[in-house]
Chains A and B, each alone.
Chain A
Amino acid sequence: MKWVLSLYPPGWQRRFRAEMEQHLQESGARGWRTRLDLLAGAIDAWANQDLIPASSAAITGGTIMEFIRCGACHQEISRADSLRSAAWMIGLSLAQVIPLVVLDKVYGNSAFIQAGLYAAFFVALIVSSRGTYLRPYTPLARNLITVGGILLSYAFFLGVVLLGELI
């Protein structure tokens, strides 16, 4: 059940996670109704992050990566790490987008290339986070999140593009 709490924003987790875990433990709530209530609560929490005071919510950027898992909630990201991450982000985005744009010109409207273009940002985001938000994980977990995240991003956008073509 506690995994659902990981879907809440980091600031929310810092403020309420311990309490909510205690609540779940004491109430013994395990059903689907509780899970759905927590899922709805997580969506609401992401949509209303301003409810949590800035002192509880403060973390340096990267809210999409934080969504993957709050493993870095209590981690301080140094300025050097942030700059390195930003460099990776920009460099990798360009390294993907430039050849894909060229391929797009050569091969026309290919769904695979389009999906690559859309996913490029997320791929760069995931890779650039290896030295920051993903650092607390074991190398295996970091690699799994990286590869899984890249494949999921690409598959998602490929699905969107193909669906768009069908419609």
Chain B
Amino acid sequence: MSPKPADLDDFGRFTEPAVLILVSVAEGPRHGYAISQDIERLTGHKPGPGTLYGAIARLESRGFLEALEPEGKRTDYQLTADGARALKARLRAMETVSRVGQARLAST
């Protein structure tokens, strides 16, 4: 079996929600609904629960996110060291794209 990639490149339609989830839990452990609210504050859009938990399952299976001991029906998720690395790499790439895009727009 091939080792799992250490980035979010194969997350398909879950890539953007996954990045937003990692950004959310980078501040500290949060449960699903709190993550959803944080994403709404950040972007103005709330991810649907199917999308949110699809992304959480992927992040957890990849070791980017860790579920803490459930409290009642709630489970908090925290960022792992691998998750922090993947997020940093993704944010760097986004920063580069943003910088180049802004520069190109400025020159037109």
Contact = CB atoms under 8 A, between A and B. Distances in A.
B24 to A, nearest CB: 14
Contact of A51 (B33, B50, B61, B70): B61
A42 B50 contact: yes
Interface residues of A, number: 29
Contacts of B70: 18-19
Contacts of A165: none
Contacts of A20: 32, 49, 53
B88 interface: no
Given A16-B57, A51-B57, A51-B61, A41 B50 contact: yes
Contacts of B75: 19
Counting chain B residues whose Cβ lies within 8 A of the other chain, the interface size class is 20 to 34
B21 to A, nearest CB: 13
Contacts, number: 72
Given A51-B61, A52-B57, A27 B33 contact: yes
Interface string A11-28: 010011011111110110
B98 interface: no
Contacts of A34: 48-49
Interface in B28-53: 31-33, 36, 46, 48-53
**Across chains A and B, which 7 residue pairs bring their CB atoms closest together, nearest first?**
A41-B50, A37-B48, A22-B73, A37-B50, A38-B50, A18-B73, A51-B57
Given A16-B57, A19-B31, 8 more contacts: A19-B74, A20-B49, A22-B74, A23-B49, A29-B49, A40-B51, A41-B48, A53-B61
Interface of B: 31-33, 36, 46, 48-54, 56-58, 60-61, 70, 72-75
